[in-house]
């Protein structure tokens, strides 16, 4: 009946209820492996759930996860680390799924790939934004998580994938500054380059367009002042990181890119 494994997977996905497919779209954006609570918070952000209907939404979300587990799409692999170390906090203000928090993953990467392949790029960017917002809110609420580079970089990657240059730039400047304080300047350079690749990728669509700071003139004309400021700041931060590594030529290039962008706008 099916010409490939992918066709079989898509057939099984299409047979699921639409509410389950919505959850699977979100989970595919989260990654191969994730915390149940990260998924639950992102689900609420995506659907605009507030406290008045949180319990109903949590029940629906849990049901969709259970269906995916029964279908062999997801599996629970471990109990997630307790996010709340303070036992004195009233249990009534915790999330309905808090006590069930665990690590989940797709049973095979083909499930995630099949789901992502049928999603429009615009939809992917939209869900990445919802995930970034929900995860960033957790960073704001839990001060100890600020020391967790992995969590911060995960938020950064979702902002980058959402196409939000200014949000990704702010995160990179924050994380990059911390990396540089720890002497991890090479890692900071890589992070800054990931941000600068966002406008560069758009520039690649116009091969004959003049560039300023490696960015097409049309792209620079289209961005607003806050984005321009962050573009300059990221180039300057990259220059500082190169300079600390005694990479004078690369540092000069980064500073020159910042100057070119400023002069071109």
Can you give the pLDDT at residue 216?
82
Encode pLDDT of 134-156 as tens digits: 999 888 765 554 557 888 999 99
Residues of the chain with CATH 1.10.10: 1-120
Can you give the pLDDT at residue 88?
47
Residues of the chain with pLDDT under 70: 1-3, 80-93, 141-147, 202-208, 264-265
* Cα(226)–Cα(265) distance, integer angstroms: 12
Encode pLDDT of 41-51 as tens digits: 999 999 999 88
In the sheet with 74-79, reading across from the earlier edge strand, the strands are 33-35, 102-106, 74-79
**Structure token pair of residue 244:** 């600390």
Can you give the pLDDT at residue 142?
59
Indicate the class that CATH gives domain 1-120.
mainly alpha
Encode pLDDT of 80-115 as tens digits: 665 555 454 555 567 889 888 999 999 999 999 999
Q: Side-chain half-sphere of 3: how many Cα atoms within 13 Å?
A: 0
Can you give the pLDDT at residue 93?
65
* Cα(159)–Cα(42) distance, integer angstroms: 13
Mark 43-80 as b/e (b = at least 16 C-beta within 10 Å): bbbbeebeeeeeeebbebbbebbebbeebebbeeeeeb
Q: Is the CB of residue 103 less than 8 Å from the CB of residue 93?
A: no
Whole-prediction pTM: 0.86
């Amino acid at each position: 009946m099916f010409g490939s494994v992918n066709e079989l997977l898509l057939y099984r996905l299409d047979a699921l209820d639409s509410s389950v497919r919505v959850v699977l779209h979100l989970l595919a954006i989260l990654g191969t492996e994730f915390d149940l609570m990260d998924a639950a918070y992102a689900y609420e952000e995506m659907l605009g759930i507030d406290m008045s209907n949180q319990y109903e939404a949590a029940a629906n979300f849990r049901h969709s996860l259970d269906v995916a587990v029964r279908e062999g799409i997801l599996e629970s692999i471990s109990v997630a680390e307790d996010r709340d170390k303070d036992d004195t906090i009233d249990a009534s203000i915790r999330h309905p799924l808090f006590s069930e928090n665990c690590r989940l993953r797709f049973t095979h990467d083909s499930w995630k790939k099949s789901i992502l392949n049928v999603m429009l790029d615009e939809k992917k960017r939209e869900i990445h934004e919802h995930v970034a917002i929900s995860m960033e809110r957790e960073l704001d609420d839990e001060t100890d998580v600020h020391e967790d580079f992995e969590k911060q970089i995960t938020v950064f990657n979702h902002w980058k994938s959402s196409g939000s240059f200014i949000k990704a730039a702010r995160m990179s400047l924050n994380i990059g500054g911390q990396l540089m304080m720890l002497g991890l300047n090479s890692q900071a350079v890589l992070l800054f380059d990931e941000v600068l690749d966002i406008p560069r990728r758009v520039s690649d669509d116009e091969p004959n367009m003049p560039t300023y700071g490696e960015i097409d003139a049309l792209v620079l004309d289209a961005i607003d002042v806050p984005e321009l400021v962050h573009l300059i700041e990221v180039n300057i931060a990259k220059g500082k990181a190169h300079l600390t590594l005694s990479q004078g030529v690369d540092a000069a290039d980064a500073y020159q890119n910042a100057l070119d962008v400023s002069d071109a706008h």
